[in-house]
Amino acid sequence: MIKILYAKDIEPKWFAGRDFEGTNETVQNVIQDVIKNGDAALKKYGAMFDVSSPASIQIPEAELKACAEKLKKEKPETYDALCHSHDLAYKFALRQRKSFDDFEEELQPGLFTGQKTIPVEKAGVYVPAGRFPLLSTVVMTVTPAIAAGVDDFVLCTPPRVHPDDLEKAKAEGTGVPGKPFVGGKPYADEGILAAAYICGAKKAFAVGGSQAVAAMAYGTESVPEVDVIVGPGNKFVAAAKKEVYGKVGIDMVAGPTEVFVIADGSADPRWVAADLLAQAEHDIVAQPVMATPDADFAKKVADEIEVQLETLSTKETARASIDNYGRIIITESLEQAAEIANRKAPEHLELALNAGPERDKIASMVRNYGSLFIGHYAAEVFGDYSAGLNHTLPTSGAAHYSGGLSVRVFLKTVTTLRAKEGSEGMINSAVAAGALGDAEGLAAHARAARIRLEKK
């Protein structure tokens, strides 16, 4: 059962970021192997860790299209939901892109400083396909790259046995965990490939894990080298992204998912319990938390969690998360709940409060979160799937200094300088630069500034 405690009894270590890595040496070896051996290393690790190790890596674009057409025919509700999710995500990402404007400002007469926002040339997207292939992750990673104006991007996702090879794999007893089917056609989860096509992806590769990150960072015979890598994954993927940062840009090093709900008696305990379980079912180390000044409401939510767990198909995972990492915190006030949330800096923060001055006050107090969901009807799961927001968000306290994945990750903000000969601004900058060059003992700096004051 979820643990209920008072705010004064919160363990100080609970506020610290959580580290689940312990994988650095393994990942470093994989990266070096991919750098040295390219596609051969990718196939080797596919045979070690995946259900398939195809003869080639790139999945033809025709396969993506076929998967989308199959999904539209066989599961139209899922197809329509993906289209809806992509449409809203694209609209939101385009609006974000507009917020990064270019300008040139004349700071002094004849001295013009400017800013330009330029998309990276190549981006790489990683889409995991473990227990639950995350179709929505395709939307959340590919869409902002396109909205940002990235010309070329690739998608990597773990390999699966191609339909044409299923009969042979079955006869061999391969194509299952621990017994990979080797040498077949490149393929991946059909839902992921369909989502990729819907979102505009053209280059998909059947490679997963830390080896996929290494391939995108350094390039192989098949997988092109990129400038930025985004997307979630397990602890090996996270560690690999951390290792290649500097060679390429990354969105973040994400950990297990989190939700923090600030609620009072106006909330429906069934809804709050459902929201906590929606995060708990992701991972046994997911962290579902609620803070409330209402002790009776806290007990109602705890009881409702138990009721809903019994009918949940993901009960085993959710139960482990709830029992080991779940918390209901009884606070002295909503303001104290907001203070705790700011200190925790959760990935998702919900305000399960009625509209009014009090909710507005709490909304203005909170500042450290990946995404904020305001009011009873702004379900966090909408942000996961279908409200335009991006669900790739900072975890483990990273919301103290960072936001989630957005078009910003695919953009470079660069600056420009233009100066007119003999202008007041140019002369003033040359004089100041010369003096500062002298002060720092950098004679060539000072000369490069003053030489522009000399008559030709």
Which residues belong to the active site? 347-348
Q: What does the buried/exposed string (b/e) look like for 108-133 if buried means 16 or more CB atoms within 10 Å of the residue's CB?
A: eebbbbeeebebbebbbbbbbbeeeb
Q: Tokens 């990402």, residue?
A: 93
Instruction: From residue 120, give the alpha-carbon distance in Å to each of 116, 220, 410.
Output: 13, 20, 6
Interaxial angle between packed helices 190-199 and 135-148, expressed in degrees from 0 to 180 and rounded to the nearest 10: 20
Interaxial angle between packed helices 315-325 and 269-280, expressed in degrees from 0 to 180 and rounded to the nearest 10: 100
Outline where DSSP puts E strands in 85-176.
103-108, 111-119, 122-126, 152-157
**CA–CA dist 212, 71 (Å, integer):** 26
Q: Which helix (H) or strand (E) holds 447?
A: helix 443-450
Q: Where are the alpha helices (DSSP H) in 222-353?
A: 235-244, 269-280, 295-309, 315-325, 334-344
**CA–CA dist 125, 448 (Å, integer):** 44
169, 60 contact by CB (below 8 A): no
